[in-house]
Amino acid sequence: MVAKAVKGFGLAAKTARAGCALPRKSKRVVLTTREARRYSALVEVFARSGPSRTGIAAPVTEVNPVARVTTLVQPQLDLVEARISQQAAAFDQAIEGYVTYAIGGRGKRLRPLMALLAGGATGQINSGHVDLAVIVELIHLATLVHEDVIDEAERRRAQPTINARWGNSLSVLLGDCLFAHALNLSTSFDNSEISRAIARAASEICSGEMIQTQRRFDLKLSVQDYLRIVKMKTGSLFAAAAELGATISEADSAVIAILKDFGMRVGTAYQIYDDCLDIVGNERTTGKTLGTDLRKGKFTLPMLIFLRSASEFERERCSSFILDGRCEEVTEILKNRLGNGALDESITGGSDLIREAQTSIESLPSNAHLEGLFALGDALREMFEQLRT
């Protein structure tokens, strides 16, 4: 059972507007807050163009369960959003427009949300937590730029991807710039362990992506192999956000460890959700290119569960479909009864992992932000249930 497999995972300007207290010991990280310079007219045209100018329909608006959780830290999230937008001005004028385009899409901001809630669950949210939230989101954005190159994805957040607009070479370098900028910002914390932990998370993410790429089209990939990759490429940044949110609040080491584990479980579960969404989702509602995993030979949890119980004939047939580029037929198998319940089992496994994460923080002193972490788990479990066909 998947449940068994997934078990056992081990800036301060304008702070007053966000209702944040100053950190007790840490010096504030200085993020870019000056006005953005003007950049070349050509880049500006591309950077400013959204779905209405590109001929791509905007996604259908749906109420995201996570949105109900964000209200608890909305002032801080608004400040995070503003500071992310301001980061483009830190780059050379020649590339500033590309950065603006890369950071312009509004995502769920789950990693900043994790950092802020963990900080509030262990103390008072302060400017250091906002800084951390900005940094982890910039790292996430860098990974998306690189991931779209690897997957040859054409849409992200209801607009053309960087690689679809300007090609792979520029996209890879832009992702590198975002990574470097985030790591540079992290060095401004007085506590050097914070910057080291962020750097370790970035290294884990890249290593996980490399291993996943290395194991493409590998029929010997096991569920445990997959979970290890997912922990590295996605779980590690969620874990760092929760761990360092508590660290900035100067929580006890035991509490920090509990929240780090919580972040790892939730992040791992979220990647399982995203992999299931790649199979059953709708591009119009998600605003991004779907079906890339199978096309690129990435065997995610639903496919691995199916292959584990499939007959030799079924394995050969699906392998042939994938190699011949007939991935839609494999997707249909996974979505219907021929998939032996692999999709439902994956959804259940991811949901159970979130439930385990919630159980792991029950021992912590309760406050509104800890309840927010529980609510975040509930929201993600609701998203899982929405995937059931």
287-324 pLDDT tens trace = 777 878 888 899 999 999 999 888 888 888 888 888 88
**What phi-psi label fits residue 55: left (phi over 0), alpha (psi between -120 and 50 degrees) or beta?**
left
What is the β-pairing status of strands 155-156 and 159-160? Answer: antiparallel
Tokens of 224: 């445990």
Query: Nearest Cα to 227, choosing from 141, 350, 315?
Result: 350
168 vs 162: CA distance, rounded Å: 8
Sequence-ordered list of residues with C-beta below 8 angstroms from that of 4, at least 6 positions apart, any chain? none
Q: Is-contact 302 314, C-beta < 8 A?
A: no
Report pLDDT digits (tens) over 34-93: 333 333 443 443 343 333 333 333 444 456 788 889 999 999 999 999 999 999 999 999
Residue 126's SS3 state is strand
Across the chain, the runs of DSSP E, i.e. the strands, are 155-156, 159-160
Class of residue 205 by CB neighbours under 10 A (exposed 0-12, middle 13-18, buried 19+): buried
Q: Give the C-alpha separation, 347 to 388, whole Å.
A: 8
Q: Which contiguous run of DSSP H or E holds residue 348?
A: helix 342-360
* Residues 257, 242: Cα–Cα separation, whole Å: 9
Task: Give the lowest-confidence range in 109-123, 253-267, 279-293.
Answer: 279-293
Please report the pLDDT score of residue 6 as a whole number: 56
The partner residues of 159 in beta bridges, in order of sequence, read 156
Q: Are 51 and 106 in contact (CB under 8 A)?
A: no
CA angle 375, 377, 383 (to 5 degrees): 105
Give the DSSP H/E element, type plus range, for residue 54: helix 51-54
Nearest in space to 97 (alpha carbons), one of 50, 145, 42 = 42
CA distance 323 to 295: 9
Tell whether the torsion through CA atoms of 144, 146, 149 and 151 is positive or negative. Answer: negative
CA atoms within 13 A on the CB side of 349: 28
Please work out, in degrees rounded to the nearest 5, the angle formed at the alpha carbon of residue 210 by the alpha carbons of 352 and 377.
20
pLDDT tens, residue by residue, 201-226? 999 999 999 999 999 999 899 999 99
Mean pLDDT of the chain, nearest integer: 84
Q: 3-state class of 124 per DSSP?
A: coil
- Looking at the chain, the whole-number percentage of residues with pLDDT higher than 90 is 63
Continuous segment of H or E residues that includes residue 151: helix 127-151
Tally of CB atoms within 10 A around 373: 26
Q: Do 112 and 136 meet the contact criterion of CB atoms below 8 Å apart?
A: yes
323-364, pLDDT tens digit by residue? 888 888 888 888 876 657 899 999 999 999 999 999 999 999
Question: Cα 251 to chain center, whole Å?
Answer: 25
Q: Would you state the pLDDT for residue 10? A: 39
Which is more confidently placed, 3 or 295?
Answer: 295
Look at residue 167 and give its three-state secondary structure.
coil
Contact 304, 343 (CB under 8 A): no
Helix (H, G, I), strand (E, B) or coil at 21: strand
Q: If you average pLDDT over residues 147-176, what whole number do you get?
A: 90
C-alpha closest to that of 369 among 26, 11, 113: 113
Distance separating alpha carbons of residues 245 and 71, to the nearest angstrom: 18
